[in-house]
Amino acid sequence: MSPSDTLTPPRQNSAVQAILNVVRRELTGYFSTPVAWVFIVIFLVMAGVFTFYIGAFYERGLADLAPFFQFHAWLYLFLVPAVSMRLWAEERRSGSIELLLTLPLTTWQAVVGKFLAAWFFIGLALALTFPTWVTVNYLGDPDNGAIFAGYLGSWLMAGGFLAIGSCISATTRNQVVAFILSVVVCFGFLLSGLPMIMNLFSGWAPQGLLDLVAEFSFLSRFASISKGVLDLRDLVYFGLVTVFWLMANTIVLELRKAD
Amino acid sequence: MNEVRITAQGLTKRYGFLTAVDDLNFTIESGEVLGFLGPNGAGKSTTMKMLTGFLAPTSGTASINGHDIVSDSLSARRCMGYLPEGAPAYGEMTVLQFLEFIARARGFSGQEVGRAASAAMERLNLEQVAAQAIDTLSKGFKRRVGLAQAILHDPEILILDEPTDGLDPNQKHEVRSLIREMSADKIIVISTHVLEEVHALCNRAMIIADGRLLVDDSPQGLLSRSRYHNAVTMLVENAEKIASTLSEMPEARKVEIREGELTVFPAKDASLFAVISDRIREHQWDVKELRLEAGRMDEVFRQITSGEVRK
């Protein structure tokens, strides 16, 4: 008696089915341990602290969420690598990478599936900050279009950080190493427009390179989005950064599957 | 029926200067249960990882039912079930969640997902732990979960890397009967360093060392390479005296005494057993135990894998 007696033979999954199956598995994994809940609580508490204490939300007397979005980049700098560090490092450590990548799905589908799950998860944490939005609407009459743009920009920026972290996580089997390296690289991307990083280049690099480095700054890109200016170039920028790092992630896996 | 067949042509894997698998050529046909034998680090796992599409070969290739493992990897993977070494799984998931994930990845959808998962659980007696997280299971159960995910889509080809490693004797017996039960119309490739397993399960054995294929034979063929093949061992008192009598027979090439046991090795093509039984009756020796040796697998294994080094 074999299972095939009662079951129709399986088909080849479409790319979408394959990716969604990985997304579903990842999300099941997140929520079957307390880690997901701990992360969400910390994210919400930190977002609140930044907005209301450091950002002086009430004292400003303005009906917008600028103090809320202002600190997101810094929040993500540490919290996104905390999510991304386990994406591939844990697969390597436990050996399940061998199981996943011998199933009939491509490495790219696995990379995208894992990324999307983590991105949705961060999106959920972000969405749970809605009481802040309710508060500002209760207190005043904010520009909700600008707030929506801010949320979208924030989520896209989180995706950029996440793709960086996912790629770095694929290079090691040690989650702590993955975390620290991700924070460092994300920090570089965050600040690349600021004098601190620019001074490293300004003595010797040609103006073209300087402009290029300045263009890479997450912070300046996000600053305009969080003010409600949805510039297509900024959206494309975050999209390209994400796709670039996910492709690098795939290549890293293809080159170094075994160790 | 489409053909069920694995062919490897010049399959090679190098890591820098280290050659892990060196120019393997073989064909495996339906109904064969192939045992991959070899010392640790011989290249068994690397070969399996290449066949299942996890690692890309440095040169050469293999095809699974006509699907090339490099250029048509997904089709090749669909025909195979694979138990990686150590039976890794997603420990935080329950057995049922995990098998449903595998079922979906294998292309089942809707109600079939649950049916495929429960059929696999039934096959490996996993029903009572269906709702438990895999991390909390014992080693034996974890191994069975690994086997369940490998057979879930009833593949024509099963690649099992050390399927019974670390199991207790009862669990080993269970896994072996399962493999034997499935073997009729499939190809099963198992790697092991338990030599008895080859004899118990396989109808073909390959010994590899340092990445090279040294022997490709049936288990019986392997045993017949042993110097113990067709030797007669007996447990007697005053072994020395009997030994000197027996060594005068033309059929005996050599007589050895080890730990009170006396072993007579046959001269070429001689059948010793009948001759020795006659002698025993004739001389009225007090024999406590008498047996015909089939051959000793561990001795053959050592001879083949270490002989290579000494030469």
Strand arrangement of the beta sheet that strand B287-292 belongs to? B252-258, B261-266, B232-236, B287-292
Alpha carbon distance A186, A170 (integer Å):
16
The one-letter amino acid code at B136 reads T
* Rounded-to-integer distance, Cα A166 and Cα A91, Å: 12
Residue B238, pLDDT score: 78
Q: Which of A29, A99, A257 sits opposite B55 (nearest CB)?
A: A257
What pLDDT score does A10 carry? 66
Topology, domain B232-293? Alpha-Beta Plaits (3.30.70)
Q: How much is the pLDDT for B301?
A: 83
Strand-pairing partners, residue B187, are B157
User: What does the pLDDT read at residue B309?
Assistant: 44
Question: What is the residue type of A106?
Answer: T
Mean pLDDT, chain A, whole residue set = 86
- Please tell me the predicted confidence (pLDDT) of residue A67: 80
C-alpha distance from B5 to closest chain A C-alpha (Å): 19
More confident residue, A228 or A79: A79
> Do B5-223 and B232-293 come out as alike in CATH topology?
no
CB pairs under 8 A between A and B: 105
pLDDT at B133 over 90: yes
Predicted confidence band at A98 (pLDDT cuts at 50, 70, 90)?
A: very high
Residue B272 pLDDT greater than 90, yes or no: no
Q: Does residue B127 surpass a pLDDT of 80?
A: yes
Selection from A181, A190, A187 nearest residue A89 by Cα: A181
Question: Looking at beta carbons, which residues of chain A come within 8 Å of B52?
Answer: 102
Closest in B97, B104, B112 to A21, CB measured: B104
Instruction: Give the percent of chain A with pLDDT over 70.
Output: 94
CB contact under 8 A, B54 and A257: yes
- Specify the pLDDT at position A259: 61
For the stretch A31-40, what's the b/e string if a residue is b when 16 or more beta carbons lie within 10 angstroms of its beta carbon? ebeeebeebb
Q: Among B51, B92, B181, which would you mutate to test the A interface (most chain A Cβ atoms within 10 Å of its Cβ)? A: B92
Of A234, A239, A75, A87, nearest to A175 (Cα)?
A87
pLDDT tens per residue, range B218-259? 888 888 888 888 888 888 887 788 888 888 887 778 888 887
d(CA A225, CA B146): 48
Residue A5 parent element (H or E): none
User: Helices in chain A by DSSP H: which ranges?
Assistant: 15-31, 35-49, 57-60, 66-70, 72-94, 96-100, 107-127, 130-139, 144-169, 175-191, 195-202, 207-215, 218-226, 232-255
Minimum-distance CB partner of A21 among B85, B89, B105: B105
State whether residue A259 is helix, strand or coil: coil
Min Cα distance A3 → chain B (Å) is: 6
> How far B50 CA sits from the closest chain A CA (Å)?
10
CB B285 within 8 A of CB B236: yes
Residues in chain A with CB shorter than 8 Å from the CB of B93 are: 25, 28-29, 32
- Please report the DSSP string for B244-293 in residue order: HHHTTSTTEEEEEEETTEEEEEEPTT--HHHHHHHHHHHHT--EEEEEE-
Instruction: Say if residues B18 and B187 touch (Cβ distance below 8 Å).
Output: no
- What is the arithmetic mean of pLDDT over B8-23? 91
What mean pLDDT, rounded, does chain B reach? 87
Mean pLDDT of B288-305: 82
Q: Using DSSP bridges, classify how beta strands B187-191 and B33-37 pair: parallel, antiparallel or unpaired.
A: parallel
Is residue A4's pLDDT more than 50? no
Which member of B74, B92, B119 has the closest CB to residue A32?
A: B92
Nearest residue in chain A measured CA to CA from B103 = A10
Least confident of A79-88, B40-49, B149-158, B276-285: B276-285
**What's the Rg (C-alpha) of chain B?**
24
Q: What is the pLDDT of residue B199?
A: 84
Q: From the list B52, B90, B151, which residue is nearest A96 (CB)?
A: B90
**Position A13, amino acid:** N
pLDDT in tens, B159-181: 999 998 878 888 888 888 888 88
β-partners of residue B204 are B34
Beta bridge pairs of residue B35: B190, B205
pLDDT more than 70, % of chain B? 97
B111-123 vs B95-105: helix crossing angle, rounded to 10? 120
CA pair distance B108, A183, nearest whole angstrom: 40
Q: Which residue on chain A is closest to B51 by alpha carbon?
A: A102
Which of B56, B107, B120 is closest, CB to CB, to A12? B107
CB contact under 8 A, A3 and B119: yes
* Chain A: closest CA distance from residue B205 (Å): 25
pLDDT tens digit sequence for A178-201: 999 999 999 888 887 777 777 777
How many angstroms away from the CA of A27 is the closest CA of chain B? 11
Reference A2, options B63, B138, B81, B29; nearest CA is B81
Which whole number is the average pLDDT over A112-121?
96
Q: What would the DSSP string read from start to end of chain B?
A: ----EEEEEEEEEEETTEEEEEEEEEEEETT-EEEEE-STTSSHHHHHHHHTTSS--SEEEEEETTEETTTTHHHHHHTEEEE-TT----TTSBHHHHHHHHHHHTT--THHHHHHHHHHHHHTT-GGGTTSBGGGS-HHHHHHHHHHHHHTT--SEEEEESTTTT--HHHHHHHHHHHHHH-TTSEEEEE-S-HHHHHHH-SEEEEEETTEEEEEE-HHHHHHTSTTTT-EEEEESSHHHHHHHHTTSTTEEEEEEETTEEEEEEPTT--HHHHHHHHHHHHT--EEEEEE----HHHHHHHHHHHHHH-
- Residue B239 contacts residue B201 (beta carbons within 8 Å): no
B186 touches chain A (CB under 8 A): no
Is the pLDDT at A2 greater than 90, yes or no?
A: no
Instruction: Give me the mean pLDDT over the B177-193 stretch.
Output: 87
The predicted-structure confidence for B28-64, as pLDDT tens digits, reads as follows 998 899 999 888 888 899 999 999 999 999 999 999 9
The Cα A162–Cα B92 span in angstroms is 22
Residues A15-47: pLDDT tens digits?
999 999 999 999 999 988 888 899 999 999 998
Residues 6+ apart with CB under 8 A from B72: none
How close A12 comes to chain B (CA, Å)?
A: 6
Q: Which fold has domain B5-223?
A: Rossmann fold (3.40.50)
pLDDT at A6 over 90: no
- Residues in chain A whose Cβ is within 8 Å of chain B: 2-4, 6-8, 10-13, 17-18, 21, 24-25, 28-29, 32-33, 94-96, 98-99, 101-106, 254, 257-258
Domain limits, chain B:
5-223, 232-293
Determine the Cα angle at B38 with ends B42 and B226, to 5°: 145
| DSSP one-letter code for A102 | T
Decide if the complex's ipTM is over 0.90: no
